[in-house]
Amino acid sequence: MKALSQKRRHPLAVIALLLMGLLVTGGLYAVATNVNEAKASTTSYSASDTAEGEKLFEANCATCHGMGASGSQDGPALVGVGAAAVDFQVGTGRMPMQMNGPQAYKKPAQFNDEQTHQLAGYVASLGAGPAIPEEGLLDEKGDAAAGGELFRVNCAMCHNAAAAGGALTRGKFAPALADVSGKHIYEAMVTGPQNMPVFSDANVTPEGKRDIITFLKQIEANGSPGGADLGSLGPVAEGLFVWIAGLGVIIAFTIWLTSRTS
């Protein structure tokens, strides 16, 4: 007992306890993250899907992302990114990239739905990651008011309060969210493409993501009831329009007056 008591008083005991606490906390966090990812997985892939996806990957993606998606100097490794990341990037046409640049642009998809499914299945087989969301989270029947609040707190600083998009640094930008499918919006939230942060279930719950999608689809359907939205850029664009239009009216009126007096 005396020996144990002396060890507890050892100056390194506190450091050892802190290290043990950090290891336990990190382990619990990793387990919780894997559980969330497992719950999100709703899509199963057959062996043929995975095999066909591997062929497509080697023919179209391995040049940049390396054989086995291990990465290269031209593209990051894709092990562990999950099916959702592939479905988003390939489904929106951002991958394969049209050209090198600060950011991948949305364009017509190069692969059809079946091929995209196969590519997603292959990458998903390489390591656990976010899965394609289930249909129940994409029905656009969530709480639009709650979704609007979540969007303004987490997304509006980049995507604009009206989801019209906005400029970022070094030639990058947050895209407008009109005409974007609910599935791709959800996948973007869980994978964090480009400069977007990842919103895990701990940050925004699946129900919260559903609410955000409902809000975005509602404002897209409502349009701009106040007239021309001027890009939804707020008072700066509106003030500039009024300033230019007002100066134009003043100049035109001045010309009309001088022509009358002459």
Q: In this predicted structure, what is the pLDDT of residue 78? A: 96
Q: Check residue 225 and give its pLDDT.
A: 62
Encoded tokens for 146: 């709650």
101 and 127 part of one domain: yes
Nearest CA-CA partner of 124 in 34, 53, 32: 53
pLDDT for position 129: 93
198 belongs to a structural domain: yes
Q: Is the pTM of this model over 0.75?
A: no
Q: Does 14 fall in a domain?
A: no
Please say which residue of 76, 101, 132 terminates a domain.
Answer: 132
| Judgement on whether residues 94 and 151 belong to the same structural domain of the protein | no
Question: Is the same domain home to 57 and 110?
Answer: yes
Residue that terminates a domain, selected from 106, 132, 158: 132
Are 174 and 127 contained in the same domain? no
Return the pLDDT at 43.
54
Residues in a beta bridge with 174: 166
Which of 81, 104, 132 lies at the terminal end of a domain, its last residue?
132
Are residues 49 and 61 located together in one domain of the fold? Answer: yes
- 206 and 140 in one domain? yes
Mean pLDDT by 10 residues, the chain (262 residues): 53 68 69 47 78 96 94 93 96 92 92 97 94 94 96 94 89 93 97 94 96 96 67 65 82 82 59
The total of structural domains in the chain comes to 2
Helices (H), 131-205: 144-154, 156-159, 182-191
User: Which class for 222: exposed (0-12), middle (13-18), buried (19 or more C-beta within 10 A)?
Assistant: exposed
Q: Which range marks the domain in which residue 80 is found?
A: 45-132
Residue 41's pLDDT is 45
pLDDT at residue 39, as a whole number = 42
Q: What is the CATH number of the domain that holds 66?
A: 1.10.760.10
170/201 same-domain check: yes
Is there a single domain that holds both residue 99 and residue 52?
yes
Query: Cα(99)–Cα(107) distance, rounded to whole angstroms?
Result: 12
Is 161 a domain residue? yes
Task: Confirm whether 124 is domain-assigned.
Answer: yes
Does residue 36 fall inside a structural domain? no
The answer to whether residues 99 and 146 belong to one domain is no
- For residue 28, tell me if it sits in a domain: no
On whether both 118 and 159 belong to a single domain, the answer is no
Q: Are residues 127 and 146 in the same domain?
A: no
Distance (Å, whole) CA 45 – CA 185: 22
For residue 248 the two structure tokens come to 């134009």
- Measure the CA–CA gap between 96 and 149, rounded to whole angstroms: 35
Residues 138 and 200 in one domain: yes
